[in-house]
């Protein structure tokens, strides 16, 4: 019995020691980091690696990457396409003299000569003194701050570590590495290839085409082409109905996307719901349209016109917001900006022509 009790005690101690040797979000940050790196979100991401992070309203990203450590280096890379080549990485280590080192490396190839120190597309926030490495209780904490020109959402991340201390800022080959997509809005990590990029593109493309292209065209037909009666009416109704169906498909794609990634973007989601409700009311208004000689027709016209204008305005706002929070690249921004410019120029030109025609129609007939 005594031997059994002793064996159990040894196992308990072993398990306790193993648990203590694991890095987790419950581990307190070293005192030197409490201040610049307080109030961070925390998420275990790979093996013993824990990622603490926070992105403020100025798009400054504060990061503390921690893991178990004895010697060598640890690094966190930011990739534009999920590949190591072409990415930039923040790498930290404790030198042979016990001094901390944090450097940015441009990973231009897979050989050590292609890994270039003090190069890369990452921009440090204000000064490099905010970057540091701390080793405490066999754990290393790589802390740095980066300035981005946009809000990070789904970012390709590469984590790696090596067992040899870099000499003259030359990195040795990594002992192990991993890559994944990290959602900085929800704190979820996705194995590269598992994030629903196709669903996100479908949600954006369907809604942009429906609410940002077809809906404005339908409104233009109703305001500026009434001389083509009754063709303008059928075109207006047909275009708006098709736009609503496509927009509804985009909303369904958005709901499916939200269920997969649980993105915390209440403004975009709230505006989308508001626009959808207005769209449904517009569809119902078509079936409840009074006769032209009804005394209620003027109130229906007022409601129909202004609710339609609200749909177009808030749809444009939400498309821009969606491109922003979805991390859309320049092709999305330039494409929608060009589309918006064409629509605005067309409206200005058609409005000028309409008002010119009105002024001519209102002129008195000459008596001479």
Which residue carries 């441009």 as its tokens?
106
Q: Extract the tokens encoding 300.
A: 């229906």
Determine the longest span between alpha carbons in the chain, in angstroms. 127
- 101 annotated ligand-binding residue: no
CA 180 vs. chain centroid, Å, equals 15
- 305 annotated ligand-binding residue: no
Reference 288, options 299, 277, 273; nearest CA is 299
Is the CB of residue 128 less than 8 Å from the CB of residue 57? no
- Spatial CB neighbours of 29, under 8 Å, sequence gap ≥ 6: 37, 38, 52, 64, 141
- Beta-bridge partner residues of 65: 51, 142
- Residue 230 preceded by cis peptide, ω within 30: yes
Sheet strands (E) in the chain: 41-46, 49-55, 60-68, 73-79, 87-94, 100-107, 115-117, 132-136, 139-147, 154-162, 176-183, 188-191
- 131 annotated ligand-binding residue: no
Burial 36-65 (b: 16+ CB within 10 A, else e): ebeebebbebbebbbbbbbbeeeebbbbbb
- 236 annotated ligand-binding residue: yes
Q: State the binding site.
A: 203, 236, 268, 304
Specify binding-site residues for heme b: 203, 236, 268, 304
């Amino acid at each position: 019995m005594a031997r059994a009790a002793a064996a159990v005690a040894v196992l308990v101690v072993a398990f306790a020691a193993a648990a203590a040797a694991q890095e987790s979000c419950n581990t307190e940050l070293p005192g030197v980091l409490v201040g610049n790196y307080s109030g961070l979100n925390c998420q275990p991401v790979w093996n013993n690696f824990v990622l603490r992070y926070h992105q403020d309203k100025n798009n400054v990203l504060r990061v503390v990457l921690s893991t178990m450590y004895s010697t060598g280096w640890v690094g966190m890379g930011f990739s534009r396409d999920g590949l190591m080549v072409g990415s930039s990485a923040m790498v930290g280590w404790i030198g042979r003299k016990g001094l901390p080192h944090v450097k940015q490396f441009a990973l231009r190839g897979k050989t050590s000569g292609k890994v270039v120190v003090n190069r890369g597309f990452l921009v440090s926030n204000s000064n490099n003194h905010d970057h540091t490495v701390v080793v405490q209780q066999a754990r290393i904490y790589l802390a740095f701050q980066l300035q981005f020109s946009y809000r990070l959402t789904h970012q390709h991340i590469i984590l790696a570590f090596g067992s040899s201390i870099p000499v003259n800022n030359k990195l040795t080959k990594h002992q192990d590495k991993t890559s994944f997509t990290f959602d900085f809005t929800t704190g979820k990590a996705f194995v590269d290839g598992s994030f629903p990029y196709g669903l996100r593109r479908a949600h954006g493309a369907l809604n942009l085409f429906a609410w940002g292209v077809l809906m404005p065209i339908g409104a233009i037909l109703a305001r500026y082409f009434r001389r083509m009666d009754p063709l303008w009416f059928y075109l207006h109704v047909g275009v708006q109905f098709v736009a609503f169906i496509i927009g509804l498909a985009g909303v369904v794609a958005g709901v499916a996307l939200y269920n997969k990634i649980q993105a915390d973007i209440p403004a975009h989601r709230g505006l989308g719901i508001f626009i959808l409700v207005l769209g449904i009311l517009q569809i119902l208004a078509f079936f409840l349209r009074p006769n032209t000689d009804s005394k209620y027709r003027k109130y229906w016209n007022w409601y129909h016109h202004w609710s339609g204008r609200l749909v177009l305005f808030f749809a444009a706002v939400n498309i821009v917001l969606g491109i922003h929070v979805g991390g859309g690249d320049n092709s999305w921004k330039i494409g929608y900006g060009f589309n918006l410019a064409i629509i605005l120029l067309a409206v200005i030109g058609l409005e000028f022509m309409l008002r010119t025609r009105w002024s001519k129609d209102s002129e008195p007939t000459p008596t001479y």
